[in-house]
Amino acid sequence: MNIKIAGTGCYIPPEIELNADFGQHEFLDADGIQLDHPNQVIIDKFREITGIRERRYAKENQNTSDLAFFAAEKAIQDAKTDPETLDYIIVAHNFGDVKYGTIQADTVPCLAARVKHFLRIQNPKCVAYDLLFGCPGWIEGIVQAQAYIKCKMAKKCLVIGAETLSRVIDKHDRDSMIFSDGAGAAVIEATENDEGILACESATYTRDEINYLYYGNSHNKNLCKNTRYIKMNGRKIYEFACTYVPEAMKKCLDKSGVPIGDVKKIFMHQANEKMDEAIVKRFFRLYKKEVPEGIMPMNIQKMGNSSVATIPTLLDMVKKGEIENQSVNKGDVVIFASVGAGMNINAVVYKC
């Protein structure tokens, strides 16, 4: 028995934030000193490195749990399943519900319980819980769903990745331009066919890497010292990701027994265009192969980095034909891979 993705759905928030919208921001360094370069130079360099031209923000009256619910509804509809038959609802996120204009995260009750409530599911045996695993959270949720199904604790699970990072960014930090909002979901169920997860690999590095992504003060020293924002050491993350993610992907693929030439697509966490390209290039280099053209779909250019939501959102968009010149077909072998706060990494080899 294996597991398959029976249906997917995503919610793309309607508010578009262009790079040009950051033109009036006062960008400061960590010491609170204004950056030397004009904002346009900073923005142009940002686009060159990340590939991001625009990103999506949730409406002021929307929370992370709302976005998760919208994506869940679409996944359930796509899977043609009855919500009452779900055994688990797993919601991956990082900051809970942060209402617009506030600074406090709300995780009581947990977001998964809120999604179950919004779906009006009456079945008490449908267990709802949240998963905190950084950006790789949605993939880890898939791994956990597989475990539940294989040990016969479940037959069907709903795994969601949702985030509203626009609520926790420091507008004085140029890294704020990376982050965005969104949600993606998948219904996971048992299958007796040869499709589904063929192998998985997860790891956590904390000895020296624990604070590569963290919660910290604004670069503006005049703001409240008790308010925290998402912060990152971009150079350290880049070096870490380019070293350990290709290795995890190789271990996972070797475990699956699938030859590298049979991999049709790689769904990489949409963190940074140049970093993702470097990871995939190094992965293929481990097999002494060149990167096949079109193997890595991307939507970061218009969606930004929505953390746990990037891979399920990208998968759904490719499945629905919304990414130009990209598709997945039955029988295709694909790889999901991610890296994020923790520092956590994971990879899954999956047969469609």
Which residues lie across from 185 on neighbouring strands? 9, 160
Quote the crossing angle between the two packed helices 234-256 and 273-285, to the nearest 10°. Answer: 40
Which residues lie across from 5 on neighbouring strands? 188
HSE-up of residue 261 (Cα within 13 Å, Cβ side)? 1
Is 198-351 in the same CATH topology as 2-193? yes
Q: How far is residue 314's CA from residue 147's CA, in Å, rounded to a whole number?
A: 24
Mean pLDDT, the chain, as a whole number?
A: 95
Please say whether the dihedral angle defined by the alpha carbons of residues 100, 18, 303 and 343, taken in this order, is positive or negative.
Answer: negative
Q: What is the pTM of this model?
A: 0.95
Fold exhibited by the domain 2-193? Peroxisomal Thiolase; Chain A, domain 1 (3.40.47)
Domain boundaries, the chain: 2-193, 198-351
* Amino acid occupying residue 308: V
Q: How far is residue 243's CA from residue 193's CA, in Å, rounded to a whole number?
A: 35
Q: How far is residue 143's CA from residue 277's CA, in Å, rounded to a whole number?
A: 25
pLDDT of residue 301: 96
pLDDT in tens, 304-323: 999 999 999 999 999 999 99
Q: Which of 109-113, 147-151, 220-224, 287-291 has the lowest mean pLDDT?
A: 220-224
pLDDT in tens, 134-158: 999 999 999 999 999 999 999 999 9
Please say whether the dihedral angle defined by the alpha carbons of residues 252, 310, 233 and 49, taken in this order, is positive or negative.
Answer: positive
Cis omega (within 30 of 0) for bond into 343: yes
Which residue's structure tokens are 């049709």? 264
Q: Which CATH superfamily is domain 198-351 in?
A: Thiolase/Chalcone synthase (3.40.47.10)
Judge whether 340 and 212 are in contact, CB under 8 Å: no
